[in-house]
Structure 1
Amino acid sequence: MLRVPALSSALIALIGTQPAFAQEADEPEVIVVTGTGLEETPATPAYDTQVIEREQLVSTGSGRIEDALSSVAGFQQFRRSDSRSSNPSAQGATLRSLGGNATSRALVLLDGVPMADPFFGFIPFSAIAPERLGSARITRGGGSGPFGAGALAGTIELTSADAATLGNFGGHVYVNDRGGTESAAHVAGDLGSGFGVISGRWDRDKGFFTTPEADRVDASTRAGFDSYSIQARGVAPLTDTVELQARGLVYDDRRTLRFDGADSSSTGQDASLRLVGRGNWQFDALAYVQARNFTNVVISSTRFVPVLDQRNTPSTGLGGKFEIRPPVGESNVLRLGIDYRRSDGELYETALSAFTGSVRERRNAGGTNTDLGFFVENDFMLGPLTLTAGARLDRYTIRNGFYTSRDADGTILQNESYADRSGWEESFRGGAVFEAGGGLKLRAAAYTGLRLPTLNELYRPFVVFPVTTNANARLENEKLEGFEAGVDFSPSEDIDLSLTAFDNRVKGAVANVTLDPVTRQRQNIDAIHARGIEAGAGLSFGPLRFDGSLAYTEAEAQQAGAAFDGNRPSQTPAWVGGATLSYRIGTDGLVSATLRHVGKQFEDDLESNVLPAATTLDAFAQVALTERFALVLRGENLTDEDIVTRNQGGSIDFGTPRTLWIGLKLQN
């Protein structure tokens, strides 16, 4: 495990070793570092893209990144609960109702690095602190490009803030009405011609009861959590056009759900290096390594003792990319590149007797997935019309898969080794955007995409009482086909309107298919087909601003002859929308209220268990007390709406109840 002081020292030493360049005494060289990747291409607006600015990221009622991302209608996790009261393995991110299981179908990048857990495919949202970010760009819809094999439902690009944005130091300490705390701090400064930032965050809370009061027993407990993350980041110029970016992230997240002893943990140590060149030949070279682990104890809901100890799930993610943009003229932007990802992981778990506590079975499973992608994309600028076309070719492997179980004496009960698989998959995307004048843009796009099944889907069964969901080592890749058309209208900085109609189909979608009342299995079904409309609005009236987003999606799971054919995929609402009204007070003050609605969902593919629609109201207020200190008030679910996050045959979990926060924010 990487130790934080050693990691921070290494990063600071690294960014402090940039070479010195001779300069004329009377003509000092001006070097500008950004800490970001290459600029977006001219054809980026051809796709359904929305940017969340820093102020929106840090002014939510909960202070969680997943809450900020929910301002884009169509974004969702597998369940409605956030990263304080859900099992980490259920934190898959998706867009456009293309879910159906807990694995991410949206590609989440932090400073260009894929954040999905190498084994499970979930996103460690608790490790991504909003106050560290400068912006988030969400592209709904699949596509090619770097790491495009994971962008089945879209891409969420998170960019860390630079030192100038953060200031030399800052932080906050908030407390809620349950005694829970949220604390964060950072220090930043110049390192030669570059900058460095070290930041930390610690969240802890005894939590709330997810179980309805009438269903609680002596063993019922609150959804308590204790998590921290520390990030060190440095940016240094190597020449006047090339900069080196280094980042390290360490996090630890521990939670308890429903019953005493039902404890889970998610830990990680990530590191990445990135070289960005902004000269005549632009390039972006990235390499990263991730060490992750997950543990989980399952408690019997009838005898309230441990029945399964998922004691160790180590996994490693390795990868990188190289993209180059050669100079091909002012009317073209050509991108050529290669990317690679490797995921290794193993599961170690012990099944226990609910009556004696003795070991019934020990299980070990795992494997290795790899993806090597080659991509090319070109934007053509023809006056007011911009055309774009891109292609990917992916070489994937699914190797070394196995499942072994032994009894308490070590006798082998099952020993499976699965045949290695590999192949080539192609994907394409293309689009056009036409600037009609007066701030009006017309756009259209079509695309295909690819997602490999995760090691979790292939080899790890799981239990959410009373239902067992079995793995399936024979799962095939998911493939997306989609198209969309839209209009954007922004006649001034104060008006930003958008409307998009889309049709997306995931062929061979991996779904949790019901076999009997207490058994499901991950299977490739014919397709998940989602069609819908997405609308967005941003309006400013002096200090008053309105931001809204609304999505309607008609989604269905398709499997000829199956009982679920034509049903909505599990956990996917038809209507999702939100609106935020904010008022700026001076330069540092802000008051806002957010109303959010999530429509009715179904727990399972047979639509037998309903999760009713939920509407919540959140609030945020920041008022300057002195030049450096501000008072912050936050409110979550102010109407105390019952948010049903799980319904297994009447066994129900609730999401966050009304929660009030107060605290101080220190700003440089």
Structure 2
Amino acid sequence: MSSNTTSRVAAGVAAGLIVSSVPAMADTDGESAQLAPLVVTPTRMAQTVDESLSSVSVIDRDEIDRQQPRQVSDLLQGRAGTGLTSNGPFGKTTNLSMRGTNSDHTLLLVDGVPMNSATFGGAAWQYLPPAEIDRIEVVRGPRTSVYGADAIGGVVQVFTREGEEGPPRFRAFGGAGSFNTQEFGVGVSGGTAASRYALSASHYETDGINVQDGAGDKDPDGFENTSFSGRFSHRLPGGAELFATGFRSKGQSEFDGATGQEDWTDHVFQALRGGVRGDLTDRWFSELAVSQAKDEQDTFDSSGGESWHYTERHEVSWRNELYWGAGHVWAFGGDWREEEVDTSSDYDETSRYNAGAYTQLELDLGRHDLGSSLRYDDNEAYGDNVTGQVAWGFDATDRLRLRSSYGTAFKAPTFNELYSPFPSWVGNPDLTPEESVSAEVGARWQGRRVYVDTLVFQTEIDDLIAAREVAPGQDQPFNVDEARIRGAELEAGAHWQEWQISGAFTYLDHEDRDTGNELPRRPNESARLDIDRQLGDFSVGATALARGRSYDDRPNDTRLSGYGLLNLRTSYAITPEWTLRGTLENALDKDYETADGYNQPGRAVYVSLHFNQH
């Protein structure tokens, strides 16, 4: 087997494997040429971004440190194909829409563990702490034929920090800022030639802002969150590797209740995964893993008392990769998962299982690359479903790569949509799964220090699930005949001398074919520009965000105005290990909303001190 194939086997162990960014390479003119980073989320196998047949973006730890985010949404908003809405800042409900699809059409993975709620459908993005994250991979476009249900719009995978060979390295940080915000954290990592480990913990709390002017009290709605993450791996004498990852977030978020009193939600957000992986032969790699995901939310509402929604998912997965020839890979495997819910109201059903089997084929044909995937799912609640995808790539030149793909996907109805007995939201057991067909054509130009990625796409969704009023104050989900979404994306970046620049633009044309209206909370245009400059021990940077108008509701009666934001940042390296950082967010003090009636913060200042042992 070639050395290139061997490295791919070692790197492409699973979606839960951390793949570090490729280091810079010396260029002939004395500057550094940045190689494209490795990714594993598009196919579960390691490949560079410019080799991928998917549209994928990477946010690494260096970028997270530069941008100094308070929330994960700060890192994701305005990215190509990505739209975010929230019911206020700091731990309030946050929804991510990929390529104009519903928020529950984006699958969140934490170290390979699916984290979408079986009751609410979407993922609890607001409980992910940036301090625990090593990198984020954002894959746009359907991935149901790889990961199963929920990935109509795309997949976002969050990787926690991992250790490297060497003595223990410690890190710590502490900070404070506007709205009586305080944060701190510690971590340690290291390893030997056979074993690696990383452990970290962080805490964030803020008084927040008054999220709703016309509801509840006028006091700020605070948020606090304590998180832990850990990663361990050990290579056995025979070559097999044992691995384990864990993440847990726990805290409380306040909101305005209907009675004018302060109410709150307690949460637990947890992902655990472990298993064994290794080469069965010199061409056959295999991984067997088990995982558990928890999403628990206890709500204390003075108008309705206590209610709770607990989701727990257990999964067993087996994955295999067979390598042959010059870069050909055949992957196959299966997974079995069981979802269980526990709620404060009686549901007709509280558990269901899903058994899935899939196969993938990646062919390297010189200047041409072909990829295909096929998956079969059998679900206890809604029956079986077959999804597939085909993709083609062509190296037009050494720097220009063309690609196209066509794929199908589906989304299963949630327990709330099927069985909810709540007076304001009545379940509909006659719902059918949402099904989609997507196609895209794109091109990526990769220079030594510059890249440009652009594409156009179209997605058609049949039986889209939406809500309608069936009685005063009572809604019920139903299947819309069809929704069509067309769009274009542009992403670009450059690293020249001491400058780092990246930008993204998204255009969407979306329609509910049942009514002719636009789909709610999808801006037709959005853009993001990040600029950073290193000045010796100092660095300065800025992020500009722009978002076009949208509608808050399905009838298009409530319009949300577009807006633009400017965030500024700076840092100073006191010593090689100590760094002082500061941000000025919403520097122009703009008033804006991403959901009708929910405020967002005005101008805010944050300062933090970081220690990172090298």
Q: Same fold (TM over 0.5)?
A: yes
**Superposed displacement of residue 145, structure 1:** 4.4
Contact (CA 8 Å) 1:347, 1:366: kept in 2 or not? no
Looking at structure 2, the residues matched to 310 and 458 of structure 1 have their Cα atoms a distance apart, in angstroms, of 22
Per the TM alignment, residue 514 of structure 1 is displaced from its structure 2 partner at its CA by: 4.3
Per-residue deviation at 1:505? 1.3
Q: Deviations over 1:581-615 (max 9, x none)?
A: 111244x7532100111221212100111221121
Residue matched to 2:65 = 58
1:375 aligns with 2:358: yes
Name 1:524's counterpart in structure 2. 479
Work out whether residues 168 and 187 of structure 1, in 8 Å CA contact, stay in contact via their aligned partners in 2.
yes
* 1:178 aligned partner: 179
Mapping 1:104-183, distance limit 5 Å: 104-164=104-164, 168-183=169-184
Change (3 A) 1:92 1:238: farther
Q: Kindly tell me: are residues 646 and 63 of structure 1, through their superposed partners in 2, closer, same or farther at Cα, counting changes over 3 Å? A: closer
Report the Cα distance in structure 2 between the residues aligned to 1:62 and 1:257, rounded to whole angstroms. Answer: 22
**Partner residue, 1:6:** none
> Could you tell me which amino acid in structure 2 is paired with residue 250 of structure 1?
R
**Cα distance change on mapping 1:575 and 1:516 into 2, 3 Å:** farther
Q: 1:528 to 1:184 in 2, by over 3 A?
A: farther
CA distance in 1, matches of 2:115, 2:538: 33
Matched, 1:584 2:534: yes
State the Cα deviation string for residues 487-543 of structure 1 (Å, max 9, x = none): 101122x11101110001121111123457744321111122110000001012211
Q: Is the 8 A contact 2:403 2:442 kept in 1?
A: yes
Shift of 1:191: 5.8
Quick one: which amino acid aligns to residue 308 of structure 1?
G
Quote the Cα distance in structure 1 between the aligned partners of 2:421 and 2:202: 33
Of 438, 447, 451, the match for 2:398: 438
Greater shift in the superposed pair: 236-245 or 134-143: 236-245
Is the 1:512–1:522 contact (alpha carbons within 8 Å) kept by the matching residues of 2? yes
Structure 2 residue aligned with 1:631? 580
Q: Residue 226 and residue 393 in structure 1: after superposition, are their counterparts in 2 closer, same or farther (change >3 A)?
A: same
How far does residue 482 in structure 1 lie from its aligned partner after superposition? 0.5
Which of 220, 225, 228 is residue 227 of structure 1 equivalent to?
A: 225
Among 230, 236, 241, the alignment partner of 2:234 is 236
Deviations 1:170-227 (A, max 9, x none): 1211101222112121112226721211111111111111234xx477x232120111
Judge conservation of contact 1:92–1:105 (CA < 8 Å) in 2.
Answer: no
Alignment-derived partner of residue 460 in structure 1: 420
Amino acid at match of 1:608: D
Residue in structure 2 matching 1:86, options 79, 86, 92: 92
Query: 1:310–1:365: structure 2 CA closer, same or farther, 3 Å change rule?
Result: farther
Cα distance change of structure 1 residues 81 and 330 upon mapping to structure 2, 3 Å threshold: farther
Q: 2:340 corresponds to which letter in structure 1?
A: D
Q: Measured at CA, do residues 664 and 41 of structure 1 come closer, stay the same or move farther in structure 2, by a change above 3 Å?
A: closer
1:97 partnered with 2:100: yes
Q: Is the 8 A contact 2:64 2:75 kept in 1?
A: yes
Aligned alpha-carbon RMSD (Å): 2.6
1:663 to 604, 608, 611: 608
Distance 1:541 1:41, change over 3 A: closer
State the Cα distance separating 1:126 from its structure 2 match: 4.3
Q: Which residue of 2 aligns with 1:317?
A: 313
Identity %: 19
1:57 CA displacement: 2.6
For 2:127 and 2:192, how far apart are their aligned partners in 1?
26
Q: What letter corresponds to residue 614 of structure 1 in structure 2? A: Y
Change in Cα spacing, 1:59 to 1:121, as seen in structure 2 (3 Å) is farther
Partner of 1:618: 567
Residues 90-117 of structure 1: per-residue CA shift (max 9 Å, x gap): x343301112xxx521111122111223
Taking a change above 3 Å as real, the CA distance of residues 457 and 339 of structure 1, as seen in their structure-2 partners, is same
Give the secondary structure class of the aligned counterpart of 1:592: strand
Q: Tell me, yes or no, if structure 1 residue 292 matches structure 2 residue 300.
A: no
Measured in 1, the distance between the counterparts of 2:406 and 2:215 equals 50
Q: Deviations over 1:338-375 (max 9, x none)?
A: 122221102205xxxxxxxxxxxxx5665223322111
Among 547, 553, 560, which residue is 1:598 paired with? Answer: 547
What is the DSSP-based 3-state SS (H/G/I as helix, E as strand, rest coil) of the residue aligned with 1:488?
strand
What is the rounded CA distance, in whole Å, between the counterparts of 1:230 and 1:85 in structure 2?
Answer: 17
CA distance in 2, matches of 1:621, 1:274: 42
- Correspondence for 2:371 among 388, 393, 409: 388
Pick aligned residue for 1:282 from 273, 280, 285: 285
SS in 1 for 2:283: coil
Query: Structure 2 regions of 5+ residues with no counterpart?
Result: 1-9, 20-39
Decide whether aligned partners of structure 1 residues 163 and 111 sit closer, same or farther in structure 2, where only a CA change above 3 A counts.
same
> Kindly tell me: are residues 443 and 291 of structure 1, through their superposed partners in 2, closer, same or farther at Cα, counting changes over 3 Å?
closer
Give 1:303's aligned residue: none
2:46 maps to amino acid:
E
Give the AA of the match of 1:629. Answer: W
Tell me by how many angstroms 1:118 deviates: 3.5
Instruction: Give the aligned partner of residue 439 of structure 2.
Output: 483
Q: Report the CA distance shift for 1:516/1:568 in structure 2 as closer, same or farther (over 3 A).
A: farther
Q: Distance in 2 between matches of 1:589 and 1:473?
A: 59
CA distance in 2, matches of 1:444, 1:469: 41
**Superposition TM-score, scaled by structure 2 size:** 0.87
Shift in Å, 1:337: 1.0
CA contact (8 A) 1:146 1:339 kept: no
Q: Secondary structure, in 3 states, of the residue corresponding to 1:210?
A: coil
Could you report, residue by residue, the CA deviation over 1:366-418 in whole angstroms, capped at 9, with x for unpaired residues? 522332211111111111100111111111122xxxxxxxxxxxxxxxxxxxx
> Which residue pairs with 2:31 in the alignment?
none
TM-score, structure 1 as length reference? 0.80
* 136-145 vs 270-279, greater mean Cα deviation: 270-279
Instruction: Return the letter of the residue paired with 1:195.
Output: R
Aligned to 1:75: 82
Indicate whether 1:540 and 2:523 are aligned. no
Which is further off, 576-585 or 258-267? 258-267
Read off the aligned partner of 1:236 and give its amino acid letter.
H
| Aligned equivalent of 1:402 | none
Which residue number in structure 2 is paired with residue 424 of structure 1?
384
SS of alignment partner, residue 224 of structure 1:
strand
Tell whether 2:465 aligns with 1:510. Answer: yes
Q: Secondary structure at the match of 1:640?
A: coil
Question: Separation in 2 of the partners of 1:603 and 1:76?
Answer: 14
Q: Equivalent residue for 1:22?
A: none
Deviations 1:248-291 (A, max 9, x none): 22221211112433211211343210333255211232210123
Secondary structure at 2:66 match in 1: coil
Aligned pair in 2 of structure 1 residues 252, 134: CA closer, same or farther (>3 Å)? Answer: closer
- Assess if the C-alpha contact under 8 Å between 1:132 and 1:199 holds in 2: yes
Q: Which residue of structure 2 aligns with residue 411 of structure 1?
A: none
- Higher-Rg member (1/2): 1
What is the alpha-carbon distance in structure 1 between the residues aligned to residue 511 and residue 421 of structure 2?
A: 25
Q: Which moved more, 1:626-635 or 1:571-580?
A: 626-635
CA 1:309–1:365 in 2, change beyond 3 Å: closer, same or farther?
farther
**How many residues are treated as equivalent by the alignment?**
570
Question: In structure 1, the residue corresponding to 2:123 is in which secondary structure?
Answer: coil
Deviates more, 1:110-119 or 1:435-444: 110-119
Residue 521 of structure 2 aligns with which residue? 571
Preserved contact between residue 295 and residue 310 of structure 1 (Cα < 8 Å):
yes
Alignment map for 1:357-372 (pairs within 5 Å): 366-372=349-355
Query: Partners of 1:47 and 1:540 in 2: how far apart?
Result: 23
- Structure 1, residues 540-590: CA drift from partner, whole Å, max 9, x if none? 22111210011001011122xxxxx1111111111111000111244x753
Residue aligning to 1:18: none
- Counterpart in 2 of 1:255? 253
